[in-house]
Amino acid sequence: MLIHRIEPGGPATSEITDRGLFERRRRLLGLAGASALLGLAPSAWSAGRFASAPRSPLSTAETPNSLRDITGYNNFYEFGTDKTDPPKYAHRLKTRPWTVSVEGLVKRPKVFGIDDLLMFPLEERIYRLRCVEGWSMVIPWIGFPLAHLLKQVEPLGDARFVEFISALDSDTMPGVGMGSLRWPYVEGLRLDEALHPLTLMAVGLYGDILPNQNGAPVRLVVPWKYGFKSGKSIVRIRVVDKQPATAWNQAQPREYGFYSNVNPEVRHPRWSQATERRLGEFGKRPTLMFNGYGDQVAGLYAGMDLRVHF
């Protein structure tokens, strides 16, 4: 992987996609072609909505990573365990037509088509992403709060958790034959975490539709948790009363707890979480508690021992 030397404080200007360029919806198409990278393109109506999505006040003021960083260095084990595997193989995934079933302990279960999801008011949110391996990025997502979707189906009084199930297709996903995880990929949140204003359903980034390697056509983004908690290419959402069994917690429960909040004070059994390296930078920086979102989310965990509920 090529590491570019820059001054502290963010990526070099040359590594950041010009805003006027990505708003014209040509940058992603130019990387690999519409059919190879993105599958079927959205309508001109929805494409214009991506480019004109207003900036959310929840966004960080930090400079986003380059589009090359964000789309070229990915964790998506369905397509392989190397960071460069998803950009190589994810073009095989067909993202249209696509549906997301929302079911379980809800009053109005519903199946949403991808175009139904694009009817929600979209906004741009620039969020930090921190991965458990020690690297981080800043990504300008396009999406809508998960709470908007859950309110459509009306969770019942005994609902406590939300389970997210990703797509599984052995014909297009070479990684599922490796046996590294139980498939399909499953993640989960407490209901109050899912309803938090920071929790996002992303359908795009950098003003365009979501690339396959980043979880197209719709993925979860939970910015105060390690990146693996944000399930990609979601096909089912279940509202349940018991804590769901999640992919990495099942695979290695000693290393990956259900909550997986970014916490520099809790050491991963094989390495420290106290520092991180922003992709594109040489040096390391201190890891922020809750990935820097503590003012917004610390109250969710009041009274909990975060060394036990890690």
pLDDT tens readout for residues 170-181: 999 999 988 779
The answer to whether residue 39 scores a pLDDT higher than 70 is no
What the block records as the tokens of 11 is: 């990526």
pLDDT at position 48: 77
What value, to the nearest 5°, has the Cα angle with vertex 141 and ends 283 and 23?
Answer: 105
Q: What are phi and psi of 103, to 5 degrees?
A: -150, -170
Residue 45: pLDDT band with limits 50, 70, 90: low
Torsion of CA 40, 41, 46, 50, to 10 degrees: 120
Q: What is the torsion angle, in degrees rounded to the nearest 10, for the CA atoms of residue 148, residue 75, residue 92 and residue 140?
A: 50
pLDDT at 19 over 90: no
Radius of gyration of the chain (CA): 18
- pLDDT-derived band at 296, boundaries 50, 70, 90: very high
Q: Which residue from 210, 207, 206, 214 is spatially nearest to 232, judged by alpha carbons?
A: 214
Between CA 53 and CA 187 the distance in angstroms is 28
Is residue 42 very low, low, confident or very high in pLDDT (cuts 50, 70, 90)?
A: low
The verdict on domain 13-301 having CATH code 3.90.420.10 is yes
Using 50, 70 and 90 to split pLDDT, how confident is the model at 285? Answer: very high
Two structure tokens written together for 168: 């599984």
> Would you state the pLDDT for residue 16?
46
Strand partners, 99: 113
Asked whether residue 120 carries a pLDDT value surpassing 60, the answer given is yes
For residue 308, the Cα-to-chain-centroid distance in whole angstroms is 25
How does residue 24 score in pLDDT terms, banded at 50, 70 and 90?
very low
Residue 200's pLDDT band, with cuts at 50, 70 and 90, is: very high
Q: Which residue has the higher pLDDT, 43 or 84?
A: 84
> Is a pLDDT exceeding 60 seen at residue 121?
yes
Please return the burial class of 187, using the count of CB atoms within 10 Å of its CB with bins 0-12, 13-18 and 19+.
Answer: buried
